[in-house]
């Protein structure tokens, strides 16, 4: 029988219950939405408008779903989240640009997702009309322990394969979807609103969505940045039932 490989390079497994969302770059403003919209009526004649006029225009654009003026801007986020969240995120195609860390070109980090204590664990109801409720003390314990044990074993086997000289792209296949990955995403305000409309759960939404808690943990942080940099647009988006124009 083959001896086990020498000490793994990254032996210390870490467990995390949060999503990291950092706004690394932004070029977005309510005024730009208004300038883009007004070119259709004033052409190349710069003019200044009051805050009220701008708010009124944004309200009209959002209400009547004139979406293209909301495309002149960009937000770039760096997001670290479990692979299953990245996978849900990257289903969003329109107006989204991505780059993600590679499991072929680098050794992955031993960071794994364990749900926070307040994460509902039990699904009740039927498909399409279900809800989630808190787990019992025992269910909390079982879930936490099962995940930690599985992650630790998966990481050990990953390291074993790397130690034997097996390529990273093959060794990584043993790692579960709870492994954290990091990616950049750049979007415009319109595509961001579309994303938020689907990946947040809100009583005020005209079309209610029921996203998985973990992607909502990402979306909520993105929405805070959106609100900071485009307060009028964000306000109007909320007022009109969170429907992307």
Catalytic residues: 199
Of 92 and 172, CB closest to ligand FAD:
92
Min. distance of Cβ 3 from ligand FAD in angstroms? Answer: 45
* Helix residue spans in 43-136 (DSSP H): 51-63, 83-89
Q: Supply angle C-alpha 158, 164, 170, rounded to 5.
A: 50
Q: Under the criterion CB under 6 A, does residue 67 sit at the interface with ligand FAD?
A: no
Stretch that binds ligand FAD, among 87-95, 113-121, 125-133, 135-143 (CB under 6 A): 87-95
Distances (CA, A) of 73 to 83, 92, 166, 233: 28, 18, 44, 12
Using CB under 6 A, count the residues that bind ligand FAD.
Answer: 9
Considering the rule CB under 6 A, would residue 225 count as an interface residue with ligand FAD? no
Task: Classify residue 206 as exposed, middle or buried by CB count within 10 Å of its CB (0-12, 13-18, 19+).
Answer: exposed
Q: Which of 92, 119, 227, 240 binds ligand FAD (CB under 6 A)?
A: 92
Near ligand FAD by CB under 6 A: residue from 24, 42, 94, 141: 94
Candidate residues 209, 213, 227, 240; the one interacting with ligand FAD per rule CB under 6 A: 209
Strand bridging mode 129-133 / 74-82: unpaired
194 binds ligand FAD (CB under 6 A): yes
CA gap 83, 154 in Å, rounded = 15
Nearest-5° Cα angle at 81, 80 to 85? 140
Q: Which is nearer to ligand FAD, 38 or 223 (CB)?
A: 223
Cα 79 from Cα 22, distance rounded (Å): 6
- The residue within the footprint of ligand FAD, chosen from 154, 193, 198, 232 (CB under 6 A), is 198
In the complex, the residues that contact ligand FAD under the rule CB under 6 A are: 91-94, 194, 198, 209-211
């Amino acid at each position: 029988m083959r001896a086990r490989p020498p000490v793994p390079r990254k032996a210390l497994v870490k467990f995390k219950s949060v999503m990291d969302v950092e706004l690394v770059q932004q070029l977005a403003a309510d005024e730009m939405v208004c300038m883009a919209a007004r070119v259709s009526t004033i052409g190349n004649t710069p003019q200044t408008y009051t805050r009220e006029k701008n708010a009124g225009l944004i309200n009209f654009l959002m209400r009547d779903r004139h979406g293209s003026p909301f495309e002149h801007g960009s937000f770039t986020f760096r997001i670290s989240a479990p692979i299953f969240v990245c996978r849900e995120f990257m289903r969003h195609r329109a107006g989204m640009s991505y780059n993600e860390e590679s499991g072929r070109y680098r050794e992955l980090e031993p960071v794994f997702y364990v749900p926070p204590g307040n994460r509902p664990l039990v699904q009740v109801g039927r498909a399409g009309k279900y809800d989630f409720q808190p787990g019992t003390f025992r269910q909390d314990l079982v879930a936490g322990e099962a995940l930690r044990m599985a992650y630790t074993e998966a990481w050990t086997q990953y390291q074993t394969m790397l130690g034997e000289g097996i390529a990273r792209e093959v060794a990584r296949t043993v790692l579960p979807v709870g492994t954290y990955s990091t990616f950049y995403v750049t979007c415009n305000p319109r595509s961001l609103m579309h994303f938020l409309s689907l990946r947040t759960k809100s009583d005020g939404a005209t079309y209610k969505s029921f996203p998985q808690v973990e992607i909502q943990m990402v979306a909520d942080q993105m929405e805070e940045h959106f609100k900071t940099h485009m307060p009028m647009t964000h306000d109007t988006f909320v007022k009109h039932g969170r429907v992307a124009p």
